[in-house]
Amino acid sequence: MDTRRRSPDLLFVLWIIVGAGLCLGVVSILSIGVFVLPVALVLAGLLLRWGGPGRALAGALSGAGAPLLYMAWLNRGGPGEVCHAITGGLECTDETSPWPRLLIGLALAAAGLVLFALTRPKVRADPPECSR
């Protein structure tokens, strides 16, 4: 299969989606993870067949950071009990500290982007000269 005609940027974005699905499937395995994980695994298999391994790790790493960043956002008021005013009273929830998930999510996203940039093919500014 010729992967040179495949857009490396498109494959990177598709691998981000797969990485996010794999991470979401693992962290939520007791609820929606049982449904998300098989879909992400099938998509990973299709991408490997369609585009080859290429820079799959870079996209999957960046994608794995997305669910962690979202969970950090959801717990941004924590740690502890956080209350919000609703019609007729207060609604309180216990939130965990967002910092561990934020730091790990940022590290994964940054590692994937750096790996993608480092493995990107170099573009030559000048066309090669032909020798006769």
pLDDT, tens digit, 9 for 90 and up, residues 95-119: 888 899 999 999 999 998 888 888 7
The answer to whether the CB of 114 falls within 8 A of the CB of 61 is: no
pLDDT tens sequence across 49-101: 887 677 778 888 888 898 899 989 988 887 888 888 888 888 888 888 889 99
Over residues 13-30, the mean pLDDT reads: 89
- Does this model's pTM top 0.75? no
Distance of CA 112 to the CA centre of its chain: 8
* Number of other CB atoms surrounding residue 68 within 10 Å: 24
What is the pLDDT at residue 1? 46
Q: Among 21-30, 34-43, 82-91, 121-130, name the one with the lowest average pLDDT.
A: 121-130
pLDDT of residue 3 exceeding 60: no
Tokens at 27, concatenated:
């962290």
Helix runs in the chain, H state only? 8-27, 33-51, 56-74, 99-118
Distance CA 84, CA 53 (A): 47
- Is the pLDDT score of 6 beyond 60? no
Residue 74 makes CB contacts below 8 A (sequence gap 6+) with 95, 98
Task: Answer yes or no: are the C-beta atoms of 59 and 108 closer than 8 Å.
Answer: no
pLDDT of residue 39: 93
Helix (H, G, I), strand (E, B) or coil at 74: helix
